[in-house]
Amino acid sequence: GWGRRGIHVTMGGLADSFYEYLLKLYLLTGMKDRRVLGMYNRAVDSMIGNLVLRTPDDTTAYLAEFKDGELRREMEHLSCFVPGMLALGAKSFDTGKNKNYNPSKALTPEEAELSAKSESHMKLAGQLLLGCVSSYDAMITELGPERFAFDETAPISQRIKVKEGRYILRPETVESIFVLYRATGEQKYREMGWRIFEAIQHHCKTECCYTGVVDVQQLPAEPNNSMQSFFLAETLKYLYLLFSPEGDAAMDEYVWTTEAHPLPIFKFDEDFDENGLILDE
């Protein structure tokens, strides 16, 4: 059905939260509701098979879109939540990262499928995050554009073409940086986050608050005189947590909503049936 006119398939705006919540509902229920995990597995398989494009050296990846029957090499900043989502799912069956996983309990088919793909999903998370960060690095302001076109086969200096140059203090890239740092402990993710924070401080800080910029390709950066609420609720929160002790807001104690509200993971003694309903003892 993707080939029909009027069909728009994307991991970005108006679709992103749905895919994220398939995984997060499974985790929020203490890894009990496997119904939504099966939906997550199918969605990620389709994304990888149809939308993911990698560079020839296999270090970096981007997410394309299908629109009106054709594959478009364009990516929204909103899609940059995907690396964090993949990393969160990949670490679900890691006893060192998720105390809610019981390795002595047999995995269901849905859980076994995700567990078998954890390594490849983790690798892809890192590749996609590099793609997102490359859109920041390619700009003279070191702030990421709202939407960009890409050519994954081109040299890094020619790979990114801006489609929408505004920067409105979005959180998705730093959200994924935070999750990958917590998942791997690799210092390079803190370094990525710090570069973005410094760019925000340099171009977006005003006497009273922070502002987005009109065009990330221009210096001096022109302020748009607007501070979105998600800047405080998400962007700064994830940057703060990136440099906080790992015990603060531990990933196996809370599930973060798409608006960065931490919800304590439920503790169910009962199990769920195939419809997501709690089974009686």
Give the 3-state DSSP-derived string for 95-115, with helices as H, strands as E and coil as C.
CCCCCCCCCCCCCCHHHHHHH
pTM of the model: 0.93
Buried b (16+ CB within 10 A) or exposed e, 14-40: ebbeebbbbbbbbbbbebbbbbbbbbb
Any bridge partners for residue 205, and if so which?
Answer: 210
Residue in the block written with tokens 């990262």: 97
- Amino acid 182: pLDDT: 95
pLDDT in tens, 137-164: 999 999 999 999 999 999 988 999 999 9
- Amino acid 170: pLDDT: 97
Region at 131 (left for phi over 0; alpha for psi -120 to 50; beta for the rest):
alpha
> Is residue 164 flagged as an active site residue?
no
User: Collapsing DSSP states into helix, strand and coil, what is residue 157?
Assistant: helix
Q: What's the rounded mean pLDDT across residues 53-70?
A: 94
- Amino acid 102: pLDDT: 82
pLDDT in tens, 81-124: 999 999 999 998 887 778 888 888 889 899 999 999 999 999 99
- Amino acid 68: pLDDT: 84
Q: What's the rounded mean pLDDT across residues 38-54?
A: 96
- The single residue of 65, 111, 146, 234 carrying the catalytic annotation is 146
- Amino acid 98: pLDDT: 83
pLDDT of 273 strictly over 90: no
